[in-house]
Amino acid sequence: MITFQENTLTVEQYLYLREQVGWKPLTKEQAQKALDNSLYTLSCYMDGNLVGMGRMVGDGAVVCYIQDLIVSPDAQFCGIGSMIMEWLIGYTESIGIPGTTMMLDLMCAKGREPFYEKHGFIARPTKDLGPGMIQYLEL
């Protein structure tokens, strides 16, 4: 049985899921601050075990950003990522201002573009949009 919980993700759960997929380690302080400043988090459980999560940041009016979408390796290819994505899109639609347009952005790992494209995202660059860019700051 698959269940979801909104805005209950703990720092330990967040760090655990990041480790499961080999993402760059964060300090507990970093992870807690990230969660505290999130617009929304969604936790996914399969048979009572945490197997995935999604995290959104943004202003809720002009732009929202899917910062994290993680599914544990042992639960991948079961449709969980798509379920989380649909919840995140639905949440964004629910907080937007009627009659306006809001950007829903993300950056994905190389090779994961088809997953996001099936959920309505477009890869950049396009004819009208330049490439996404990133800078890592060593603090």
Give the residue extent of every domain in the chain: 2-117
Report the distance separating Cα 9 and Cα 55, nearest Å: 9
Give first-to-last CA distance, the chain, whole Å: 43
Q: Which fold has domain 2-117?
A: Aminopeptidase (3.40.630)
pLDDT attached to residue 115: 95
Model confidence at 69, in pLDDT bands (50, 70, 90)?
Answer: very high
Tell me the pLDDT of the chain averaged across its residues. Answer: 95
Give the residue among 113, 65, 91, 87 at the shortest CA–CA distance from 3.
87
Report the distance separating Cα 77 and Cα 122, nearest Å: 22
How many CA atoms lie within 13 Å of 74's alpha carbon, on the beta-carbon side?
7
Contact residues for 46 (Cβ-Cβ < 8 A; gap 6+): 1, 2, 75, 78, 80
Q: Are 65 and 105 in contact (CB under 8 A)?
A: yes
- Using the predicted structure, report yes or no on whether residue 134 has a pLDDT greater than 90: no
**DSSP bridge partners of 105:** 65
0.85 cut: is pTM over it? yes
pLDDT attached to residue 132: 87
